[in-house]
Amino acid sequence: MNLYPLKFNPILKDKIWGGQKLKNLLNKLNNLPNVGESWEISDVEGDTSIVSNGVLKGQSLKQILETYKADLIGLQNYRIFKNKFPLLIKFIDAKEDLSIQLHPNDELAAKRHNSFGKTEMWYVMQADDDANLIVGFNQEITPEKYLSHLENKTLTEILNFDKVKTGDTYFIEVGRVHAIGAGVMLAEIQQTSDITYRVYDWDRVDDNGNERELHNDLAIDAFDFNMPDNFRVNYSKTKNESNQMVSCPYFTTSYLEVSETLKKENNQDSFLIYICVDGDAEIDVDGNIEHIKKGETILLPAAIKEYQITSKKATLLEVYV
């Protein structure tokens, strides 16, 4: 069977800080009170995506990877990752501030959690007036200074707050402190990992009066206190061509604004993922047409080498490994 563009059922996550934008703005219909995340493509244990279109409908991402191997993800990727899909794609809606957190690198994550690390990037899809992201520190910080502020509950005094708007993009490397602020909806591209070290949660409690678990003993070893402030991503927006935003060992992401029919070739030894962050488009593979609209994500298997994207107006994030 020839592989085709694959769509998946979103996996929706109720979060203490979530809201209703994913439902109201991205059409993620649900009855959950506080939807914080929509996992679009996931191979996290216990949360594996299920195909929603075509002859493979109902099969899991794990099943089709085990069946199609390099045809799905590329030969080099299959040699490295075997039957584990390497990326996790999400939409996130923060009605309230997320916890202040960071993620471990591959080495620490493997040793402690038998997991990949969690390098990630954010593309802001919508932000309320005066909405912020927290990324990094606003001054040089030593472990001792950090621990003193943590103990005195003055951590926010040393954190860097950035006011954001639609299109702002951030590259969040492992070891960097960060948090998504209230009023921000974004697309997140990350390694397949669900390992987060929470260091402060605004003294929040749940409906039962319980605070969420913090991970400060684990986190202190995961910090990189000497990172440069290079997390803001500058990128071009030339229409009808791929404009590279982030390229790292874990993923490469480009900005693609489409206003005509583009003939595309996949010259990478990799799958391609398209995340629609605005408008709508058609992806045509040998006459097999799939529609993608704002808030949807599609996976093009590595075996697909030629295809077309047609739109009057669409903004896509194009991702490969």
User: pLDDT, tens digit, for every residue of 26-39?
Assistant: 999 888 989 999 99
> What is the percentage of the chain residues whose pLDDT exceeds 90?
94
Average pLDDT in the 76-96 region?
A: 97
Q: What is the pLDDT of residue 219?
A: 94
Average the pLDDT over 292-310 and give the result: 98
> H or E element: which one contains 62?
helix 61-68
> What is the reported pLDDT for 12?
97
- What was the pLDDT predicted at 128? 97
Q: Pairing between strand 169-172 and 43-44?
A: unpaired
CATH 2.60.120.10 fits 11-222, yes or no: yes
Query: What pLDDT, on the 0 to 100 scale, is given for residue 212?
Result: 87
Strands laid side by side in the 87-94 sheet: 11-19, 35-41, 87-94, 184-191, 120-127, 169-172
Start-to-end C-alpha separation, the chain: 24
- State pLDDT tens for residues 269-281: 999 999 999 999 9
Q: In the prediction, which pLDDT does 86 show? A: 97
pLDDT band at 209 (very low <50, low <70, confident <90, very high): confident
Q: Residue 141: what residue type? A: I
Confidence (pLDDT) at 206: 79
Residue 205 has pLDDT above 90, yes or no: no
Predicted confidence (pLDDT) per residue in 141-184, tens digit: 999 999 999 999 999 999 999 999 999 999 999 999 999 999 99
Spatial contact of 258 and 309, defined as CB atoms under 8 Å apart: yes
Whether pLDDT at 210 is above 90:
no
pTM to 2 decimal places:
0.96
Over residues 242-260, the pLDDT tens digits come to 999 999 999 999 999 999 9
Q: Residue 257: which of 319, 189, 313 has the closest Cα?
A: 313
Instruction: Check if the beta carbon of residue 123 is closer than 8 Å to that of residue 169.
Output: yes
Strand 87-94 with 132-137, pairing: unpaired
243-320 shares the fold of 11-222: yes
Judged against a pLDDT cut of 90, whether residue 107 lies above it is answered with: yes
d(CA 185, CA 229): 23
Q: Where are the beta strands (DSSP E) in 182-239?
A: 184-191, 197-200
If we measure between CA atoms, which residue out of 265, 272, 264, 280 comes closest to residue 315?
280
pLDDT at 211: 86
What is 243-320's CATH topology?
Answer: Jelly Rolls (2.60.120)
> Which sequence spans correspond to the domains of the chain?
11-222, 243-320
Beta bridge partners of 101: 178, 198
**pLDDT digit string (tens) for 108-143?**
999 999 999 999 999 999 999 999 999 999 999 999
Output the average pLDDT for the chain: 96
The two structure tokens encoding residue 129: 């007036």
Q: What pLDDT sits at residue 207?
A: 78
Q: What angle do CA 98, 205, 92 make, to 5 degrees?
A: 25
